[in-house]
């Protein structure tokens, strides 16, 4: 089979994956080597404190890997999104494969399938496991997609993806920092697609719980109008309360009920006050969301070093 002449980049996130490195190279990297004549590896070391980097370097040198291997050392632990942004920005391939984890639970042909799908006219193609997702993930995506400002940008759980250079340039031209890559890719205006694959390994993958919650909260603020909707609902509740109090006050005046002095005026004032407060909050949140779009996380990422790993027999 004739190899593809396109130059591709593999960006892979590493954080204490010493047990997964070898399988990743034997399955994923070998599949890329079989399909493409030229490729590069951009491995992002997000403060690994085990033998992940040692095992990676040892494998590359002992197996004389015929590829450019760049090892990006983050200055400190910065999480998946910031680290992958750093890796993607350094990638130079015509197409970029993104691996949020080096855990392999798919067959080799998955990489070829998403590449072929990309050539059909898509700019972002993601691979999705057929395994059942955790309840927390399903709940998050359901609420998130229901609250989206742009309904075309729905996202879900993904294992890996391939992105065209056009999609990367489009995102950069938007001048937007990427706090949640899937959401930005889905809303960049280009064609996206998701394919499902049969899971071969039930190994757990995913981010730390604290990071996952932080990312979920940031994503709700950045990409959805969930807070605006909540404010509107509360505003409506207090509006109804205000109307109810007004009707009660009017009926009390007309029917001359004996009520405590000042009670009606206090309740009326509180109802109108809370209604005004949440109405103002709705307006503030609307404008705040626009401001956040401009200044959200201006600090992108911090890199301490970029190391080039060469195989035995190659000049440094």
Q: What is the per-residue pLDDT for 171? A: 86
The CATH number of whichever domain residue 49 belongs to comes to 3.90.550.10
Mean pLDDT of the chain: 81
pLDDT tens for each residue of 127-146:
999 887 777 778 778 877 77
194 vs 147, which has greater pLDDT?
Answer: 194
Tell me what pLDDT residue 237 has.
Answer: 76
316 pLDDT tier (thresholds 50, 70, 90): very low
pLDDT of residue 127: 96
Assess whether 162 and 103 both reside in one domain. yes
Q: Is 316 part of any domain?
A: no
Cross-strand bridge partners of residue 303: 74
Percent of the chain, pLDDT > 70?
72
Domain that holds residue 253: 226-295
CA distance 308 to 73: 11
Residue 283 has pLDDT above 80, yes or no: no
- 263 and 173 in one domain? no
| Domain shared by 181 and 241, yes or no | no
The answer to the question of residue 173 being in a domain is: yes
Whole-angstrom Cα distance, residue 264 to residue 253? 10
* Rounded Cα gap, residues 114 and 111, in angstroms: 6
Contacts 24+ apart (CB under 8 A), 84-88: 84/11, 84/13, 84/44, 84/181, 85/177, 85/178, 85/181, 85/300, 85/301, 86/44, 86/300, 86/301, 86/303, 87/11, 87/12, 87/13, 87/42, 87/43, 87/44, 88/11, 88/42, 88/163, 88/168
Residue 264 lies in a domain: yes
CA distance 281 to 288: 10
Q: Do 111 and 238 sit in the same domain of this protein? A: no
Same domain as 47, residue 181? yes
Q: How many domains does the chain have?
A: 2
Q: Is 69 helix (H, G, I), strand (E, B) or coil?
A: strand
pLDDT tens column, 213-224? 556 666 666 666
* Among 41-45, 97-101, 195-199, 286-290, the least confident range: 286-290
């Amino acid at each position: 089979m004739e190899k593809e002449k396109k130059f591709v980049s593999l960006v892979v996130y590493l954080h204490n994956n010493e047990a997964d490195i070898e399988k990743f190279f034997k399955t994923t990297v070998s599949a890329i080597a079989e399909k493409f004549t030229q490729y590069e590896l951009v491995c992002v070391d997000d403060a690994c404190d085990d033998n992940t980097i040692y095992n990676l370097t040892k494998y590359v040198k002992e197996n004389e890997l015929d590829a450019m291997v760049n090892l990006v050392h983050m200055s400190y632990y910065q999480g998946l999104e910031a680290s992958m942004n750093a890796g993607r920005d350094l990638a130079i391939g015509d197409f970029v494969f993104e691996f949020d984890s080096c855990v392999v639970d798919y067959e080799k042909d998955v990489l070829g399938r998403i590449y072929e799908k990309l050539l059909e006219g898509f700019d972002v193609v993601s691979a999705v496991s057929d395994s059942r997702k955790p309840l927390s993930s399903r709940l998050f995506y359901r609420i998130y997609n229901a609250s989206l400002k742009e309904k075309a940008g729905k996202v879900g759980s993904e294992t890996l993806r391939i992105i065209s250079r056009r999609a990367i340039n489009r995102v950069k031209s938007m001048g937007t920092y990427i706090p949640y890559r899937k959401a930005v890719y889905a809303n960049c205006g280009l064609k996206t697609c998701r394919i499902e694959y049969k899971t071969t390994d039930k190994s757990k993958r995913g981010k730390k719980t604290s990071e996952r919650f932080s990312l979920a909260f940031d994503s709700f603020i950045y990409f959805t109008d969930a807070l605006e909707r909540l404010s509107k609902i509360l505003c409506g509740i207090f509006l109804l309360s205000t109307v109810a109090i007004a009707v009660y006050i009017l009926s009390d005046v007309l029917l001359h009920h004996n009520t405590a002095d000042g009670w009606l005026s206090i309740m009326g004032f509180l109802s109108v006050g809370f209604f005004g407060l949440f109405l103002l909050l709705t307006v503030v949140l609307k404008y705040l969301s626009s401001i956040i779009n401009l200044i959200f996380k201006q600090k992108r990422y911090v890199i301490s070093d970029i190391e080039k790993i060469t195989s035995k027999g190659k000049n440094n």
